[in-house]
Amino acid sequence: MFKIGCHLSSSDGYLAMGRAAERIGANVFQFFTRNPRGGAAKAVDPDDVSAFLDFAAERGICCLLAHAPYTLNACAEKPHLREFTRETMADDIRRMEYLPGNMYNFHPGSHVGQGAKRGVELIADTLNSVLTPDQTTTVLLETMAGKGSELGGRFEELRAIIDAVELDGKLGVCLDTCHAYDAGYDIRGDLDGVLEEFDKIVGLGRLRAVHLNDSKNPFGSHKDRHEKIGDGSLGLETFERVVNHPHLRDLPFYLETPNELPGYADEIALLRSRVRVCDE
């Protein structure tokens, strides 16, 4: 079954997100665990969670993807910033355990002059202190555009982080189409080649989610500005190939395009119309 959805506002809780997802034709969704700029998270409401879980089971909604605030930096040079990242991630993962078996995505971080090697070490340290053997939440490293000193723009960097994490069974990767294209992976011209390279370096088994975004900028620009599906440098044909690719089609797809709910509903309908039914 094609799993498609988008980023939703979490301000009214889980059941409200489930209802919003259903209204726009989504069967998966992403949300921020707290204000994207950081700060305290609202307490989890167990009644809301159980009402949501019933609703989701009934309506076939699955694959929740919680997104960490983008102000976190697991490889910040200042220890108190790394500590803040650790505390936030540990708290987010604890909160996700109310909805067992889902996913938590974060931007690996920016090494800001410390060098990629040190950055990778610090990110792995952070993960080693927040992952627990009994958690059911899979933590996803997002592929990044490689803006400034951002890590995760190269598949090799993701591999190096995974290699340095003890509980690496808790880790996966989220492929962001805009980020990867901006980073210099030609998913428009050579999707097969990019996935082959991903498989060689990271392993396709790690790939657990896809962020579907067109890009406002040209190939290899290292910019990270999302565009509506079909309006950017990737183009609708690319997304048709992405959602139908044998290595990708069973993964959950999340739109993070510049849209409100009606725009998302249109994009979801458009992508659904491009999915080819296969008999396997």
Among 211, 224, 232, 268, the residue binding Fe ion under the rule CB under 5 A is 211
Residue 92-131 contact track with Zn ion, rule CB under 5 A, x = bound: ----------------------------------------
Q: Which of 7, 82, 111, 142 is catalytic?
A: 142
Residue 212-251 contact track with Fe ion, rule CB under 5 A, x = bound: ----------------------------------------
Restricted to residues 139-158, the positions that interact with Fe ion (CB under 5 A) are 142
Cβ neighbors of 178 (< 8 A, separation 6 or more) are 145, 211, 213, 214, 215, 224, 225, 226, 227, 232, 234
Among 150, 157, 176, 182, the residue binding Fe ion under the rule CB under 5 A is 176
Determine if 214 is a binding residue for Zn ion (CB under 5 A): no
Cβ neighbors of 88 (< 8 A, separation 6 or more) are 34, 38, 68, 69, 72
107 carries an active-site annotation = yes
Q: Which of 34, 82, 95, 107 is catalytic?
A: 107
70 carries an active-site annotation = yes
Q: Which of 23, 70, 163, 192 is catalytic?
A: 70
Restricted to residues 227-256, the positions that interact with Zn ion (CB under 5 A) are none
Nearest distance in Å: CB 212, Zn ion: 11
Q: Which residues pair with 142 in a beta bridge?
A: 174
Among 182, 224, 240, 267, the residue binding Zn ion under the rule CB under 5 A is 224
Binding-site size for Fe ion (CB under 5 A) equals 3
Restricted to residues 127-156, the positions that interact with Zn ion (CB under 5 A) are none
Distance CA 263, CA 280 (A): 32
What are the CA-CA distances from residue 183 to residues 129, 176, 180 (Å)?
Answer: 29, 10, 5
Binding-site size for Zn ion (CB under 5 A) equals 1
Residue 225: how many other CB atoms lie within 10 Å: 16
Q: Beta strand 214-215 with 226-227: parallel, antiparallel or unpaired?
A: antiparallel
Cβ neighbors of 249 (< 8 A, separation 6 or more) are 2, 243, 275, 278
What are the CA-CA distances from residue 90 to residues 46, 85, 98, 142, 230 (Å)?
Answer: 19, 8, 14, 18, 37
Binding site for Zn ion (CB under 5 A): 224
Binding site for Fe ion (CB under 5 A): 142, 176, 211
